[in-house]
Structure 1
């Protein structure tokens, strides 16, 4: 019975996220999974009502997740889900406090994102399409790199989202926020070619399957891996790597952190600042290779 009460509250919260907040499907899925895990944890501690949960239980939950060897970032997301849930329960009058508010997650290691250099990108994109699916795939990859889109943003694009005459697109990103982005010359060319081949009388989606349905994220990920192998580019290709490459190359050329923040749609500039570390890493490598007194001697065998 206790478990049913908790799960019922989580279901109401998920409906609120979906219908009122219009949170992305991916975020909703993660929150639901995290909160159901939290419900099981509370049941194991013989907690019967939300009002019984205190900050000690939340800290214990965080420690439990760490014991389960969850990554710091995953623990942060779990605690964020708990904080959001209790804010909702406060509004609904189910409980009066937010015990998760004061509990901080373990600090995540700052991992530098993977990027491609320009030679790798030229190798990846340097092919002449022959079939309609190749025209589509090239337009997808060019647009990812041209405008720094997230996978969910690219999937949601409609034909009406882009204006190839003015060279810009309008996209709705995280938090249902809309932003206008420029489209590069090569991406405009690839998109024009794709639109000539794109099946007519199909879904309003910009990128579609052969049956005319909107192309789904998993299909795009699989096509990118296909092109990595076909073009002989080493490493791993995933949509966010093209976004990371866009951000890194823009920052390296312009040094305008605020502009890159706007282009990426980051709410907090600290999220964008990771690319300054990436840029410094590149500069340090150039320095080590070029400066006469920076070259390191080879270690003895």
Structure 2
């Protein structure tokens, strides 16, 4: 019955004002004895599960699906209205309360807004609502902070601080390919083509793409593999003697250990990726090729990763404007 009421309300939205829609909803629920909020929960829950299934079909990772689920469940629990009746003001109040009570950053709030936008856009596309209430909520402005990258000297320092052939191979692969840490840990030995110095990685949405490594990474990788006597197909395995596939957490832990032993700022896998993008653009590589190399769906993401080197800006000014 709740679904029937939702359809009626959706059809009446173009005709009635918001307050009239609310009144109509109350009258219908009263007529069908559905005023108990617990009976409206299955409707929202059902739609949320359908939405998550749709995102899974689109290729979203289990981690992304769970992030969507927790974010939207928290929103529904706070607003306490069927999702088909949620309005823009409800969402604005929720975002404001979330930011104030949790001290959340603008980036976090905009991430929540984007997830809500995806959910309500799906409800609109599937004809559960006439218009997404998120349409009236504009993108939240966030401060653009130039994140750190490694200089050539810092990269050499990181390489020299590696105490195992495995860690050296990991650093050289991350630095020369720009692949994500999850892509690196999923690699198998059979994925590596040493002759062409390339490998196929599986990125977000299970999309595959080729990445390329330099001669230094090739040598480091061959040196590491020559020390292996296990049968695990994984390209990188743990260092504790169990020969299990290395996890994202274990690699990040090794990077933190390296960070503590040297003075080059933070050392984490994503910094290698950002460094590659910045250096590639700085040396004149077309942004579209950098986008493909990094496996970004949108070129805006590539531009966000690749911070323009101020020295290049200064040199270009002198070249073109003086």
Q: Which residue of 2 aligns with 1:251?
A: 281
**Equivalent residue in structure 2 for 1:140, among 170, 174, 190:** 170
Q: Which residue of 1 aligns with 2:199?
A: 169
Task: Spell out, residue by residue over 1:196-223, the C-alpha distance to the aligned partner (whole angstroms, 9 max, x if none).
Answer: 2235222x32222242322221111110
**Equivalent residue in structure 1 for 2:245, among 204, 209, 214:** 214
**2:73 paired with 1:39:** no
**Equivalent residue in structure 2 for 1:29, among 66, 78, 82:** 66
**Equivalent residue in structure 2 for 1:59, among 92, 95, 102:** 92
Q: Which residue of 1 aligns with 2:179?
A: 149
User: What secondary structure, in the 3-state scheme, does the structure 1 residue paired with 2:199 have?
Assistant: strand
TM-score when normalising by structure 2: 0.76
Measured in 2, the distance between the counterparts of 1:275 and 1:105 equals 19
Does the 8 Å CA contact 1:62/1:105 hold for their aligned counterparts? no
Task: Spell out, residue by residue over 1:77-98, the C-alpha distance to the aligned partner (whole angstroms, 9 max, x if none).
Answer: 2122112223444566644442
Measured in 2, the distance between the counterparts of 1:53 and 1:152 equals 37
Measured in 2, the distance between the counterparts of 1:153 and 1:265 equals 11
Cα RMSD after superposing both structures:
2.7
Q: Where do 1:96-115 residues align within 5 Å?
A: 96-115=130-149
Does the 8 Å CA contact 1:124/1:233 hold for their aligned counterparts? no
Measured in 2, the distance between the counterparts of 1:228 and 1:193 equals 23
Does the 8 Å CA contact 1:199/1:212 hold for their aligned counterparts? no
Does the 8 Å CA contact 1:51/1:96 hold for their aligned counterparts? no
Q: Which residue of 2 aligns with 1:182?
A: 212
**2:99 paired with 1:80:** no
Using a 3 Å threshold, how does the CA distance of structure 1 residues 16 and 97 change in structure 2: closer, same or farther? same
Count of matched residue pairs: 277
Does the 8 Å CA contact 1:3/1:40 hold for their aligned counterparts? no
